[in-house]
C-alpha cells in the first residue's frame, strides 16, 4: 500500500433492512429477509415479483426516489462532520429514471420536469446538501459502481491533494431495472437464494450507503480501507467469465493493494447474487485464490441486489462485522450447492473479524473488490503517491462531419462540424460482427476506440478503458421503455436492457481489445470526459499499462431535447466524441494531458483559483478552447470574461461548442483537437480567428469547461 492510511470517519445507510447502522446490524444478526412483493409502483398486470424495497421513504413533488435515498444516507454520514467533504464520488445507475418513466408515460413535454433525470444530478444534489465545492463525480459501472467509486476515492486521497471524500452508492427501484432483469430470466420468484442448490436468480432492490473517508485520523474511526482493486472480464456483456478469471484478478489486486496475503482475510462478503452463473463463477474464483477459504456469505438474500448501491451497502456491513465481531449468514440458502465447492455461513456467528474482503461484480464484466479492516490490521503509512502525467500516443475524434481527417480539415478552415453521422457511416470501417447488434452509442465508442488504437500503430492493445458519457445509451433506453409501454409490460426487450447501462459501450470496447484491467465509466453531464480523465489519471498504473480514454454521447430525438438543457434551448441535435490512447511514457507522445482544475463555480474567486492552478514558471499557453453549454450561456460568458481579465496577456480563444455542437462530451473532441494540433506543431489560425500559431516543446493548449463547474484540461507538447 502506498500513500497515507484512509480512515472511515463515518457512514450512513438506508436499505430494505432499515435505516442506520444499528438497525442494519440488528437485522443482519436476526438473519431474516426484507425481500417482499413490489409496492413502489403499480403494474399493469401479473403478480408483483419479490424485491428489496425501502419502506416509508415518503415522496417529494420534485426530487426522484434515488435522490431521496442518497440524501438520507449522506445526512447520516455527515451528521457529526465539522467540515464539508472536498469531493463527492457516487456510484449510480438509475438516476431519476423512475420519475422519467412516469413523465414519458404521461407525455410530459416540459424539459424542466426532467432536470433530475441524469445520473450526475444525484451527486450534484449531495454536493449542495453537504456544502462540497469540489468535484461531484458519478461512476456508472452497473452493479460494481460503488465499489469502483470507493477505489477511486482512496486513489485520490492517497495522492495527497484531498483529505475528505464522501463516497458511496445509490439506486432506486424502477421499471427499467425491474422488467429488465426479469426479461433476462435472472429473477427468482421465490426471492434471492444465494449459493443454494435450487437458486434461480436475484431480487432487484434499492438503497443507499455513504462513507466519509479521510486521511486525517478521526477520534474514533469506524475502520480503514486497506486496499481495493479493479478488473474487467472482457468476456461478455452480461455473463461472467465461467472460470471467474476477472474475479480472481480483482481479488488479487485488492489484496496486493492492501499488502495482505489471502490468509490474512477473516471474512469474505461475496457478491452472491443468487444467479446460477454468477455464483458459480465467483465460487471458482474464491477457491482458486483461497485453498482454505475463511468464513464467507452473501447478504443479498436479506437485502436484495441494490445494483450500484450494493458495494457501498456491503462496505457498511463489513464495518459492522469488524465493530461487532460477527459474520452475517446467507439468508435464503438452505442447501448449499455442492458444485460450488464452498460452504457459506448459513446463520450469523460471533467471532473476531479484523479484515473483510468485499466483492462487487457488474454487467460488462466490471469487477471491484475492497479490503476493509480494523485500524490495527496492518496499516502502513507512506508518502503520497506521485505519478507521471498521462501521455497521448494515439488520438481520434468523430463529429457530424465524419471521423478525424474530415473533422480536422473543416476545423482548420474554421468551419462548423456539428451534426450527426448516420449509424451506417459510423460503422463503415468496423468489422460487421463488431456492430451487428450495436446501436448508436456503442457504435460511436467502438469507432473512436478503434481509430485511436490505429493512430498508435495498432500494436499495443489497451489494458484499461475509461469512458465519459453524459447521457448514456439513449436509443436503447427509449426503445426499452417504448416496447414496455406498447406491449402493456408483457414483452420487454432483453437486448435493449443489456445495452441501456451507461457502461455498456465501454464494456464492448474492452471485449474487442481484451482489456482486463480497470474499466470505468463516468457520467457527469457536461463534465463526463473530465471525470473520465480524472479517473484514468488516478487509477492507471505508473508503468506497463496503456488505456483508452473516451468521451462520447449520442444525440436522440425525442430524449435529448427533454434531458439535455443545452439541446432543449433550441439547438440542433449533434453528437460524437473523442478518444485518446494513453499511458505514462512521454517518449514520442503527441502530448501530455492533465486535469488541472475542477471546482464548483462560486463566482470570481473560483476563476482566481483556476488562473492560479494554470500558472507556473514554464507556462506557455498558446490558446484556450472554451466550452460554454448553451444552457449556461450567461454564466459561461461571465466566467470566460473574468478568466481573460485575470490573465497576464491576451490569449487566442476559441468557443468550440458552436463549431462542434451542443452535446455533453464535446470537450473530448476539443481535447482531441488540441492533442492533434500539438502533435503536428501548429494550431490553425482559423480555429481561433487569427494567424496560425506554431507550437513548440512546452506549448500548452487549455480546454476550459464552464457552467456549474469550472474545469481545465491542460494539453502540453513534450
- Please determine, for residue 387, whether its predicted confidence score (pLDDT) is greater than 80: no
DSSP strand pairing (709-716 vs 464-468): unpaired
Segment 8-19 shows an average pLDDT of 98
- pLDDT band at 59, cuts 50/70/90? confident
In this predicted model, which residue has the larger pLDDT, 118 or 433?
Answer: 118
18 pLDDT more than 80:
yes
pLDDT, position 192: 97
Cα–Cα separations (whole angstroms), residue 614 to 280, 538, 599, 714, 715: 51, 19, 13, 8, 11
Report the pLDDT averaged over residues 703-716.
Answer: 98
300: pLDDT strictly greater than 70: yes
**What band does 378 get if pLDDT is binned at 50, 70 and 90?**
low
Q: What pLDDT does residue 619 have?
A: 60
CA distance 476 to 369: 29
Residue 586 to residue 494: CA distance in whole angstroms: 44
Question: Is pLDDT of 617 > 60?
Answer: no
How would residue 379 be classed by pLDDT, with cut points 50, 70 and 90? low
pLDDT, tens digit (0-9, with 9 covering 90-100), for 460-472? 999 999 999 999 9
CA distances (Å), origin 447, targets 428, 451, 457: 9, 6, 16
Q: Could you give the domains of the chain? A: 6-373 (3.40.47.10), 390-716 (3.40.47.10)
User: Quick one: pLDDT at residue 618?
Assistant: 46
Catalytically active residues, by annotation? 143, 271, 305
Calculate the average pLDDT of the chain.
95
* CB half-sphere exposure, 473, CA atoms < 13 A: 29
The mean pLDDT value for 88-100 works out to 97
pLDDT of residue 535: 98
d(CA 152, CA 88): 11
CB 676 within 8 A of CB 495: no
Quick: pLDDT tens for 436-450. 889 999 999 999 999
What is the pLDDT averaged over residues 314-342? Answer: 97
652-662 mean pLDDT: 97
Q: How confident is the model at residue 648 (pLDDT cuts 50, 70, 90)?
A: confident
Q: Nearest Cα to 57, choosing from 67, 47, 48?
A: 67
pLDDT tens digits for range 552-599: 999 999 999 999 999 987 889 999 999 999 999 999 999 999 999 999
Identify the band that residue 616 occupies on the pLDDT scale cut at 50, 70 and 90: low
Instruction: Assess whether pLDDT exceeds 60 at residue 268.
Output: yes
Higher pLDDT pick, 61 / 396:
396
pLDDT number for residue 571? 84
Q: Where is average pLDDT lowest: 65-74, 265-274, 374-383? A: 374-383
From 226, 84, 80, select the one nearest 150 (Cα to Cα): 226
Q: What is the mean pLDDT of residues 664-670?
A: 98
**Structure-model confidence comparison of residues 125 and 543, the more confident one:** 125
What is the structure's pLDDT at 388? Answer: 84
Amino acid at each position: 500500500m502506498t500513500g497515507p492510511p484512509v480512515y472511515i470517519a463515518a457512514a450512513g445507510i438506508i436499505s430494505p433492512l432499515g435505516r442506520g447502522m444499528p438497525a442494519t446490524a440488528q437485522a443482519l444478526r436476526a438473519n431474516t429477509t426484507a425481500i417482499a412483493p413490489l409496492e413502489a409502483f403499480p403494474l399493469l398486470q401479473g403478480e408483483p415479483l419479490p424485491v428489496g424495497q425501502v419502506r416509508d421513504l415518503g415522496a417529494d413533488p420534485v426530487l426522484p426516489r434515488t435522490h431521496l435515498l442518497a440524501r438520507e444516507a449522506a445526512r447520516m454520514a455527515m451528521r457529526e462532520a465539522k467540515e464539508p467533504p472536498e469531493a463527492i464520488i457516487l456510484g449510480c445507475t438509475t438516476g431519476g429514471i423512475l420519475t422519467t418513466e412516469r413523465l414519458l408515460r404521461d407525455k410530459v413535454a416540459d424539459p424542466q420536469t426532467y432536470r433530475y433525470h441524469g445520473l450526475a444530478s444525484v451527486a450534484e444534489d449531495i454536493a449542495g446538501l453537504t456544502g462540497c465545492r469540489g468535484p461531484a463525480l458519478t461512476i456508472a459501472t452497473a452493479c460494481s459502481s460503488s465499489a469502483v467509486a470507493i477505489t477511486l476515492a482512496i486513489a485520490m486521497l492517497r495522492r495527497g491533494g484531498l483529505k475528505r471524500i464522501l463516497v458511496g452508492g445509490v439506486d432506486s427501484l424502477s421499471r427499467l431495472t425491474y422488467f429488465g432483469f426479469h426479461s433476462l430470466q435472472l429473477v427468482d420468484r421465490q426471492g434471492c437464494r444465494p449459493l443454494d442448490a435450487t437458486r434461480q436468480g436475484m431480487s432487484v432492490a434499492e438503497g443507499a450507503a455513504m462513507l466519509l473517508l479521510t486521511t486525517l485520523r478521526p477520534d474514533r474511526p469506524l475502520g480503514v480501507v486497506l486496499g481495493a482493486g479493479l478488473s474487467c472480464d472482457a468476456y461478455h456483456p452480461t455473463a461472467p467469465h465461467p472460470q471467474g478469471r476477472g474475479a480472481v484478478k480483482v481479488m488479487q489486486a485488492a489484496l496486493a493493494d492492501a499488502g495482505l496475503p489471502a490468509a490474512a482475510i477473516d471474512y469474505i462478503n461475496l457478491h452472491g447474487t443468487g444467479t446460477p452463473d454468477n455464483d458459480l463463477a465467483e465460487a471458482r474464483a474464491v477457491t482458486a485464490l483461497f485453498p482454505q477459504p475463511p468464513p464467507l456469505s452473501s447478504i443479498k438474500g436479506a437485502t436484495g441486489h441494490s445494483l450500484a448501491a450494493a458495494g457501498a451497502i456491503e462496505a457498511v456491513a463489513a464495518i459492522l462485522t469488524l465493530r461487532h465481531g460477527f459474520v452475517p449468514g446467507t439468508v435464503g440458502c438452505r442447501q448449499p450447492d455442492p458444485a460450488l465447492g464452498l460452504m457459506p455461513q448459513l446463520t450469523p456467528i460471533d467471532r473476531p473479524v479484523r479484515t473483510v474482503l468485499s466483492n462487487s461484480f457488474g454487467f460488462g464484466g466490471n469487477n471491484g473488490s475492497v479490503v476493509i479492516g480494523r485500524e490495527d490490521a496492518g496499516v502502513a503509512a507512506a508518502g503520497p503517491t506521485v505519478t507521471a502525467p498521462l501521455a497521448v500516443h494515439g488520438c481520434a475524434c468523430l463529429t457530424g462531419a465524419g471521423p478525424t481527417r474530415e473533422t480536422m480539415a473543416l476545423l482548420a478552415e474554421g468551419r462548423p462540424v456539428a451534426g450527426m453521422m448516420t449509424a451506417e457511416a459510423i460503422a463503415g470501417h468496423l468489422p460487421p460482427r463488431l456492430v451487428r447488434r450495436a446501436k448508436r452509442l456503442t457504435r460511436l465508442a467502438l469507432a473512436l476506440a478503434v481509430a485511436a488504437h490505429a493512430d498508435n500503430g495498432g500494436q499495443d492493445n489497451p489494458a484499461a478503458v475509461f469512458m465519459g458519457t453524459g447521457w448514456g445509451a439513449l436509443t436503447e433506453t427509449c426503445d426499452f421503455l417504448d416496447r414496455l409501454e406498447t406491449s402493456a409490460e408483457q414483452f420487454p426487450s432483453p437486448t435493449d436492457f443489456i445495452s441501456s447501462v451507461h457502461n455498456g459501450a465501454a464494456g464492448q470496447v474492452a471485449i474487442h481489445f481484451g482489456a482486463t484491467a480497470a474499466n470505468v465509466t463516468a457520467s457527469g453531464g457536461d463534465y463526463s470526459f473530465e471525470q473520465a480523465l480524472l479517473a484514468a489519471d488516478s487509477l492507471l498504473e505508473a508503468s506497463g499499462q496503456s488505456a483508452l480514454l473516451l468521451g462520447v454521447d449520442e444525440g436522440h430525438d425525442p430524449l435529448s431535447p427533454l434531458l439535455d438543457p443545452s439541446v432543449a434551448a433550441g439547438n440542433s441535435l449533434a453528437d460524437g466524441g473523442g478518444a485518446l490512447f494513453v499511458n505514462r511514457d512521454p517518449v514520442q507522445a503527441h502530448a501530455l494531458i492533465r486535469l488541472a482544475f475542477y471546482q464548483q463555480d462560486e463566482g470570481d474567486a473560483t476563476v482566481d483559483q483556476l488562473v492560479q492552478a494554470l500558472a507556473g514558471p514554464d507556462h506557455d499557453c498558446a490558446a484556450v478552447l472554451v466550452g460554454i453549454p448553451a444552457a449556461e450561456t450567461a454564466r459561461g460568458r461571465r466566467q470566460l470574461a473574468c478568466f481573460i481579465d485575470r490573465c497576464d496577456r491576451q490569449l487566442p480563444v476559441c468557443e468550440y461548442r458552436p463549431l462542434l455542437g451542443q452535446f455533453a462530451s464535446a470537450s473530448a473532441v476539443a481535447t482531441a483537437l488540441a492533442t492533434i494540433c500539438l502533435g503536428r506543431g501548429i494550431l490553425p489560425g482559423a480555429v481561433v480567428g487569427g494567424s496560425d500559431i506554431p507550437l513548440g516543446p512546452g506549448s500548452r493548449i487549455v480546454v476550459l469547461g464552464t457552467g456549474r463547474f469550472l474545469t481545465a484540461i491542460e494539453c502540453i507538447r513534450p
